[in-house]
Amino acid sequence: MKFTAGSPKGETVAKFIFEGDFDGIRDDAKAHNFSGKEREVMVAHPAKGPKRLIVAGLGKKEKFTTEKLRRAAAQVGQRARLLDLAEISIVPPAGDRSENSQAVVEGVALALYEYKRYKSKPGRPLKLQTVRVDGDADAVRRGEIYARATCVTRDLVNDPPSVCTPRYLADAAKKVAKKGISIKVFDEKQIKKMGMGGLEGVAIGSTEPCRFVHMTYKAPGARRTVAIVGKGITFDSGGLCLKPADGMLNMKDDMSGAGAVIGIFSALAELKPRVNVHGIFAATENMPGGSAYKTRDILRAMNGKTMEIINTDAEGRLILADALSYASRLKPSEIIDMATLTGACVVALGPDMSAIFTANEKLQKGILAAARAEGEKVWPMPLENEYLDMIKSDVADMKNSGGRWGGAITAALFLREFVEEGIPWAHLDIAGPALVENDRPYRPAGGTGVMVRTLLRYLEEQ
């Protein structure tokens, strides 16, 4: 499917209207009981103009947002699929030409994503080949790149866990390391040599070897460097603190942070943001093998700090301890990590919202603004220093779990211990929205690719 910018042409045109605004389609709206509310869509056959007109409602004009447009565009794309259309022209509403054009492209492209790799009967193929958007050409291109990068991550999250192993994830990173991007992949021997005791400890119970990946994008004349770190647990059984069956069911998504790093880097060479970017992730399984790490074991992270194991199911923070230590040695302008880190975050914020933990107001403001523009929900959470007592250890520098209460906060405080003092840092807990079990407007069930578009926008705006 290809998106292009251009004036409407062809047999089918799609447009958007606000509630009660029936200029030119009043009779059709009445016949279809269409009022222009959000989530309403109709197909009309006007006497003049195109053969077919798809109309999607945006709700009340005074409450318009680009996210509502993105969702309405998703409905347009889904209706085009049902009609077996080969091409369609879409006219965004008046307003911010660039933002509206990008939102339309993202809505259509993301709504039409399908994961069919293991379907013996994949169903009716998508016939839609050309989507022409009457809008800003650069924004159309950007929207297509953002959506494509998101779908790279969705594919990785949706892959079966026995396929998407640490080595597979590292190979996926190699595939997106195009012109302008370099990559280093460290194997288990190199990981041991670098002193990454957290990653090595979690990996020891699995027959699958772990991997550590460092990708680099360099922008000509860049004045800043951003390090993006992802959690890459390709399957989380809980280790010896074994999860119940229901709790283990979707644990193939525990590499969503690493998958998002790969998705972001798949787009950087095309977008060319004016900032240097490091993409870093540690990848391993967390399995209960005979050699698995145990409760009350003590692991030493790359920066020398020691971690007492209270719960082997609090493993993500152990591999991130090494990844953040490694990122700190690069002396970036700032570090942002993404991780499906805690169930406590899902309890606090539900399945649709990510949490951000940071003490840096500028960094928080920038990420939140990018998230709002991309329709991804992110909520600020506190780094409560008094909760450090919950992860205080009698035999090591800290415990890897502070218990049930404030679990997302104590996990974030744990991570902070591995970021070099003075480097602005933000932690994004994406445990809720990384994988959804039901279809949403432009998020089919499965991996969502959450935070890919938000961080691409953030990087472009630096």
**Catalytic site positions:** 243, 317
Q: For the CA atoms of the chain, what is the radius of gyration?
A: 23
> How far is it, in rounded angstroms, from Cα 176 to Cα 80?
31
Q: What is the longest distance spanned by two Cα atoms in the chain? A: 80
> How far is it, in rounded angstroms, from Cα 415 to Cα 388?
11
> How far is it, in rounded angstroms, from Cα 52 to Cα 62?
28
Are the C-beta atoms of residues 413 and 387 closer than 8 Å to each other?
yes
**CA nearest 274: which of 219, 318, 226, 316?**
219
> How far is it, in rounded angstroms, from Cα 344 to Cα 350?
10
> How far is it, in rounded angstroms, from Cα 310 to Cα 403?
9
> How far is it, in rounded angstroms, from Cα 447 to Cα 450?
8
